[in-house]
Structure 1
């Protein structure tokens, strides 16, 4: 999927919503535990309820890996279901991988060739040779961790040398490894005020923005500081949508919350003259 195709879908759906499929077996409605595959049953209903207001889905792999082979099977079924029924939707493997070159090449093969994700989140700590193997796959995307929304971001990401913060150096350096057509960045919504400065470094790249909703990030601030002429944003919401209810109406409640976010996004897209 190209950036233009992604933007066209954003305009069509009037939404830049990414729904995080952080599906916890301990949090899904109890009645689903009687099904043969509770995780997939939950994901399928969430997807069916939200696909028309969503441009991306982001399964966090920890929730699937923790269940062993069964979890991987649920994940594969989820990805295949989206691919077959909603091929216009961008699918992100939230895996945060990154290792020496030959190992990264195997990770890339797993997520892109076998699982057929459109993108994968990658940690940049080990440098260029740990990221480049992911960037060799045609029509696939690396989403590089730049500035995260968690409290621990302050442990390293804001370290400064020669008036340059570490996250700024990561962005400046890594931008040379790929292009605006295969490289995105993770920038947390709780750091929204810094998006304007980040946009000066990477004006045209897409940004994956977690932290809106349950983590307290402001959608309006994210759009104000981070939106570009192709929107350039995928804003993720996980718990606020998928766990809107723990009863049998969970999918309907998820849809209500997703529509509420989409309507706010539509207003922001109009304000910025993109629809």
Structure 2
């Protein structure tokens, strides 16, 4: 089962939610301050609390590298995969290089960290994406229209009458998806763009950041991004889940937030497709 198949399985079981494992040590509950493996122990508790509500987990690489905690990233992914083997893990490292270096980054994600998918920046074109896509059972999630405030500076520039993000989406759908393992990053803060991207990339899953802390509209995301009710989206929540509480009940609070997001998404579908 490749990454996209695994995600589709979770869509069928009623969840399009991804929990982003983005550790900020200064936001951990006080009990973790004395622990040498604090990041892993925190992640383990979050994974256990939220697993039944998610379609995947997404650790963000920089949060580990900056703390010299790459070993805890490996531990986190290994823990998730051994205890919840049906829940894929996305390594969010936004790699974007070419040739042999891109192949090395692919090996880093898939062979060293054993991730099921990786995020990739396509700025250098097909040479960036294809070395990752060669790993046929792994997911390659290509930045298309991101959720950050300055995303439009380049991504909305018009080329041959269409915005750059449409060119990326079309390439992803028609050229890079030979093995059925390509997805796109499409931010929840860009609902209008999301609808256009879905029209040229009807088959690709969308990883959707920007709900929660960044203020993306959940209803617009569900309406504009889904391929059919309950399908097509991997809606990420990080800070809102991880730091729902900084008390001893942090894991229960994370579970409550994750369940609420799953239920809110499903309620939008039920309302529009009774």
TM-score, with structure 2 as normaliser? 0.94
* Alignment equivalent of 2:104, drawn from 92, 103, 106: 106
Q: What residue in structure 2 maps to residue 240 of structure 1?
A: 240
3-state DSSP class of the match of 1:90? coil
The question of 1:17 aligning with 2:17 is answered yes
Superposed structure 1 runs of 4+ greater than 4 Å apart: 271-274
Q: Counterparts of 1:213-252 in structure 2 under 5 Å?
A: 213-229=212-228, 231-252=231-252
* Aligned mates of 1:272, 1:228 — CA distance in 2: 14
Listed one character per residue, the Cα deviations across residues 35-56 of structure 1 (whole Å, up to 9, x for unaligned) are 2300001101111110000111
Distance 2:58 2:87 in 1: 11
Q: Residue 6 of structure 1 corresponds to which residue in structure 2?
A: 7
Normalised by the length of structure 1, the TM-score is 0.94
Q: How does 1:47-66 map to 2 (within 5 A)?
A: 47-66=47-66
Note the C-alpha offset of 1:85: 0.4
The answer on whether the counterparts of 1:180 and 1:204 sit within 8 Å (CA) in structure 2 is no
Q: What is the aligned length?
A: 271
* Displacement of 1:33: 1.7
SS for the counterpart of 1:216 is coil
Q: Does 1:177 align with 2:176?
A: yes
Work out whether 1:202 is the aligned partner of 2:201. yes
Change (3 A) 1:180 1:243: farther
Of residues 22-31 and 47-56 in structure 1, the stretch that sits farther from structure 2 once superposed is 22-31
- SS of 2:25's equivalent in the other structure is coil
Per-residue CA deviation, residues 196-219 of structure 1 (Å, 9 max, x unaligned), is 211110011100000011111111
**What SS does the aligned partner of 1:217 have?**
coil
Distance (Å, rounded) in 2 between the aligned partners of 1:101 and 1:272: 46
8 Å Cα contact 2:6/2:88 also seen in 1: no
Q: SS state of the match for residue 190, structure 1? A: coil
Q: 1:119 aligns with which of 117, 120, 124?
A: 117
| Residues 120-139 of structure 1: per-residue CA shift (max 9 Å, x gap) | 00000111112111011121
What SS does structure 2 have at the residue aligned with 1:131? helix
Between 90-99 and 225-234, report the one with greater CA deviation.
225-234
Shift of 1:25: 1.4
Question: Which consecutive unaligned segments of at least 5 residues does structure 2 have?
Answer: none
Report the equivalent of 2:32: 32
Check conservation: 1:100, 1:126, Cα contact below 8 A: yes
Alignment of 1:71-220 (within 5 A): 71-175=69-173, 176-179=175-178, 181-220=180-219
Partners of 1:258 and 1:180 in 2: CA distance: 31
- What is the rounded CA distance, in whole Å, between the counterparts of 1:155 and 1:262 in structure 2? 32
Matched residues in 2 for 1:125 and 1:55: separation?
A: 28
Deviation at 1:24, TM superposition (A): 1.2
More off after superposition, 23-32 vs 201-210: 23-32
